[in-house]
Amino acid sequence: MFDVLIKGGTVVDGSGGPAISADVGITGERIEAIGDLSASEAKRTIDATGHVVSPGFIDTHAHSDGALLNDPQHASGLRQGITTEFLGQDGLSYAPMSSGNYQMYAQYLSGILGRPPGELDMSSVTAFRGNYHKKCAINTAYCVAHGAIRISTVGFTDAPLEGAALDKAKGLVRESVEQGAAAFSTGMSYFPNAWSNTEELIELCKSADEAGAVYVTHLRDVHTERGFGGGGVEEALEIGRRSGIKVHFSHFRTNPEDVGVMTAAEKIAPVDAAKGDVDSTLELYPYPIGSSFVLMTLDSASQEGGTEAILKRLGDPTERQRMVDSINDYNVRPLDQMVFTNLPKHPELEGMGLFDVARMQGKTPGDVVCDLLLAEGLTAGFRGAPPISVGITRLLAKDQMELLARPDYMVGSDQIPVGGLPHPRAYGTFPRFLGRFRRSMPDIMSLETMVQRVTDNPARRFGLTDRGRIEKGYFADVVVFNPDSMIDTATFDDPHQFPVGIPYVLVNGQVAVDDEVCTGVMAGHAVP
């Protein structure tokens, strides 16, 4: 007798091969049989007639590190069909760190990760993983965070990582991978990561590669003078060449500024040109704009010393004015596109643009940012403003589908599931691709190919053992969805909306979503 029997569905197994009509029998945490199981009995039978039965979706880029610790049910991800999420993205996470550094950095990251519990052991990757294993509804994989490595060696300061400190950092990276981290990640828009140079990253990646990890990178656009070739793609490729590590590019896609200037093929051409030297993969999400935390608008000098030092500067009139002036001169990304998403003490401003708030309050944008950071204790998040032109959004969507059709691509939602008005990608990424986009652009990619990109591709790339396929002996991470009705419903003005057409999700053999209702089962593993 099976514990769970999924009957009458169309199995898309994740391999990219053709769909088949088959039943799936599950015993314990694993798939025991696939085929005609009509004569079999089970403790629980799910009728999947008219539905696709696929492996659980693997989200290769999620900022739910803190959110999962506060809300382990994680309905926003689970209801999308996500059964595994990769944490530690952009080099922004909590391990390995001492208790004091964890509490400091947790506050610093609260605008993007939320405020996690203060009394948790994050001293090692083993400890980090223990905070999630069988305590969340989904599986979690960890990318050891560059920010945590830097803070644990040279502190939150613009100091070179070299000599004994570099040796310690390399040891921490190696040890973290040996303890279960699947990758080493950095985000070169953020601090303390951006204080590094290319040579430091090459050395850290050598250690990560020796231990069997992948390098996951959010490309450099801060302190570009410290990066090979001015940062960006060229720096990441140079790191891959000189360290030998496999490189994975985070959220690599065209953006509104690219439309009419370059095609998706032209944008990715440098990556393709280096394929003979660098083993690379990429990810993306199906939206035209992104989201982050407001602290990234402060300049390098303002970040020195971390949380306490930043708050002290915000409260000092002279320092504050220098920070205001720096923000008003900010040119990395346009401030007029900033829309607040997460302001716990000022929820009435969530959904408001920075320039609108400045106009209504009679202040400069820099004054508004500094006022809010101080009042919120640094917990402030934002997203971009979507293009006015629907035509631009549609052109970007076509680019996104054409990129995902490539065999080296996968999906990372880049979800930030905190705040009153988060980016809708936290609720809609996977059904937007597999439902809305697939049906509107049917000639670009088959359903079987798309399922492979969001299941088997990431499982193979990051070494997730026995996951990513509907296959005998594999862990029973399973999604049952209606290919004709599956669709995202989250919007920029109303993002807390679950998708439809995904009635069942199983994690390690346990029914985690039952007829579109979360069951409360915490069956997620810390993987790989």
Pairing of strands 478-481, 52-55: antiparallel
- Report the alpha-carbon distance of residue 507 to residue 520 in Å, rounded: 12
Percent of the chain with pLDDT over 70: 99
Per-residue pLDDT at 423 exceeds 80:
yes
| Structure tokens belonging to residue 127 | 């400890």
22 φ/ψ angles, rounded to the nearest 5 degrees: -160, 155
- Report the alpha-carbon distance of residue 146 to residue 184 in Å, rounded: 7
CA-CA distances (angstroms) from residue 384 to 133, 294, 398?
34, 12, 20
Compute the average pLDDT of residues 60-81.
98
* Amino acid at residue number 100: G
Domains observed in the chain: 57-289+387-463+470-512 (3.20.20.140), 294-383 (no CATH)
Where does 244-376 have alpha helices with state H?
Answer: 264-273, 300-303, 307-315, 317-328, 354-361, 365-375
Count CB-CB contacts under 10 A for residue 370.
26
Burial class (CB in 10 A: 0-12, 13-18, 19+), 224: middle
- CB 288 within 8 Å of CB 300: no
Count CB-CB contacts under 10 A for residue 33.
16
382 φ/ψ angles, rounded to the nearest 5 degrees: -150, 165
**pLDDT bucket at 116, cuts 50 / 70 / 90:** very high
CA nearest neighbour of 85 among 381, 361, 283: 283
| Structure tokens belonging to residue 421 | 């008005």
**pLDDT bucket at 118, cuts 50 / 70 / 90:** confident
Compute the average pLDDT of residues 132-143.
98
- Report the alpha-carbon distance of residue 490 to residue 430 in Å, rounded: 12
517 φ/ψ angles, rounded to the nearest 5 degrees: -125, 130
Signed CA dihedral, 480, 483, 486, 487: sign only:
positive
- CB 238 within 8 Å of CB 231: no
E-only strand ranges, 222-350: 246-249, 280-284, 291-293, 339-342
- CB 526 within 8 Å of CB 139: yes
- Per-residue pLDDT tens digits for 231-246: 999 999 999 999 999 9
- Per-residue pLDDT tens digits for 264-289: 999 999 999 999 999 999 999 999 99
Per-residue pLDDT at 487 exceeds 60:
yes
Compute the average pLDDT of residues 222-227.
96
Q: What is the pLDDT, as a whole number, of residue 75?
A: 98
- CB 505 within 8 Å of CB 512: yes
| Structure tokens belonging to residue 287 | 């939206």
- Per-residue pLDDT tens digits for 359-404: 999 999 999 999 999 999 999 999 999 999 999 999 999 999 999 9
- CB 61 within 8 Å of CB 112: no
Q: What is the pLDDT, as a whole number, of residue 298?
A: 95
Per-residue pLDDT at 455 exceeds 60:
yes
End-to-end CA distance of the chain: 29
CA nearest neighbour of 375 among 321, 311, 316, 323: 311
- Report the alpha-carbon distance of residue 391 to residue 375 in Å, rounded: 39
CA nearest neighbour of 30 among 474, 455, 469, 465: 474
- Per-residue pLDDT tens digits for 29-52: 999 999 999 999 999 999 999 999
Contacts of 267 (CB under 8 A, 6+ apart): 252, 254, 258
- Report the alpha-carbon distance of residue 143 to residue 146 in Å, rounded: 9
Q: What is the pLDDT, as a whole number, of residue 331?
A: 57
Per-residue pLDDT at 333 exceeds 70:
no
Compute the average pLDDT of residues 448-477.
98
Q: What is the mean pLDDT of the chain?
A: 97
- Report the alpha-carbon distance of residue 426 to residue 415 in Å, rounded: 4
SS3 track for 108-165? HCHHHHCCCCCCCCCCCHHHHHHCCCCCCCCEEEEEEEHHHHHHCCCCCCCCCCCHHH
- CB 31 within 8 Å of CB 470: yes
